[in-house]
Amino acid sequence: MDKPATGDNGQLHRTERLGWVSVVLAGCAMIPAVLIAAGVSHPLAHAALALLLGAALLGLMTWYLRVRRSVRKLNELIAGLYEKSREQDMECRKLEEMRNLQRASMRTASHQLRAPLAALQSCLAVLLAAEDIDAEDARRLLHDAAARGDDMMELVNDILGLAQAESAARIETEVDTEDIDVEQAVREIVNFFSPRAKERGVTYRVEVKKPPGTLKANRKLFNQVVLNLVSNAFRYSDEGREVIVTLDSPEPDRLTMEVRNWGLVIAPEEREKIFEDFWRSDEARRRVKRGTGLGLSIVRNIIEFRGGRIRVESDAENGTRFIVDIPRHRKGVDHNGKSKE
């Protein structure tokens, strides 16, 4: 037994039935015409003819409108299927791009690990092969080996930090968040760095334009952002200069944080690259030997997964300024971390 028609199929079946009714009415309208052709001129025949012709025209018009509506719905259905197919194709492309980026990151990480590992092996090989080596040379080789081990540990920690930050930012829930006193949290991190900074004559200052109040966020991720930016400012500052952290709340639903230092100037063509995984400029490598190039990538991932933005401005006179714009409430984001308005 055939299943009863539902939805669009039922509409098509009703349209088909109406079409047959219209055909029948049109056929009936032929009867008076035949009568006239046969010489029947009774007024009732003429009235019947007019009535049936009107009914036939009405039926045909109704059928046409129903068919046009069905065709429109069919076109909308086809357009919807095409749009879904296009979206799925885009999703597949994005996933492929992500896989390519992951493979590239793994290759880069392997390359970054190779150099300190080779240096560590070289130091140990010299120690093992030497039959007569004085204590000072042995101590120097062990010191170099330990430094290369520290380099590898820093790289591994930053890679894990990047993965954890991305994962935590993606799955952040209300359970993970708390009300953070922004000014207090920032001052605590700045105070942590101040003793080390004073050794190089670098001073920290926190300025508050409009009190930022509280931010509902994951404290670990928020601290990671502040820590990385404040740490970078210290590492790349000239001796005797100042690092200024400015907090503001320009609008009720968002706050800003600016970290400014005077030292390394970032060229315009490098201001996007510095947020890429493992990227460090030649000047940055010259100034600071150690570093993995992952700190700013971690910061950007955390900020953008929350729906915020980070940018950098840099010149010799005004210094280098990392400006973070953070929404007080986490916005929806797509799987690439871009905020959805």
Q: State the pTM of this model.
A: 0.55
Mean pLDDT along residues 133-137: 80
- 48 vs 147, which has greater pLDDT? 147
CA distance 314 to 271: 9
Nearest in space to 338 (alpha carbons), one of 295, 297, 309 = 309
CA distance 304 to 298: 10
Tell me which of 38, 63, 88 is where a domain ends: 88
151 in any annotated domain:
no
Confidence of residue 126 (pLDDT cuts 50, 70, 90): confident
- 254 vs 329, which has greater pLDDT? 254
pLDDT reported for residue 328 = 85
Tell me which of 55, 88, 121 is where a domain ends: 88
Say if residue 80 is in the same domain as residue 196: no
- What is the rounded radius of gyration, in angstroms, for the C-alpha atoms of the chain? 37
Determine the structural domain holding residue 301 and report its residue range: 174-327
Mean pLDDT along residues 261-278: 86
209 in any annotated domain:
yes
Residue 247 has pLDDT above 90, yes or no: yes
Report the CATH number that the domain containing residue 263 is assigned in CATH. Answer: 3.30.565.10
pLDDT reported for residue 245 = 95
248 in any annotated domain:
yes
Confidence of residue 340 (pLDDT cuts 50, 70, 90): very low
pLDDT, tens digit, 9 for 90 and up, residues 137-178: 888 888 877 777 776 776 676 666 666 665 555 545 544 788
Length of the chain as a residue count: 341
99 in any annotated domain:
no
Q: Tokens standing for 54?
A: 């009107």
Give 67's contacts (C-beta < 8 A, 6+ positions apart).
15, 19
The sign one gets for the Cα dihedral 50, 52, 53, 59 is positive
Nearest in space to 256 (alpha carbons), one of 300, 209, 295 = 209
DSSP of 120-180, one letter per residue? Answer: HHHHHHHHHH-SS--HHHHHHHHHHHHHHHHHHHHHHHHHHHHHHHHHHHHS--GGG-EEE
Residue 46 has pLDDT above 90, yes or no: no
96 in any annotated domain:
no
The total number of structural domains that make up the chain? 2
pLDDT reported for residue 192 = 85
| Strand spans (E) along the chain | 178-181, 203-208, 214-217, 242-251, 254-261, 309-315, 319-327
Tell me which of 54, 88, 122 is where a domain ends: 88
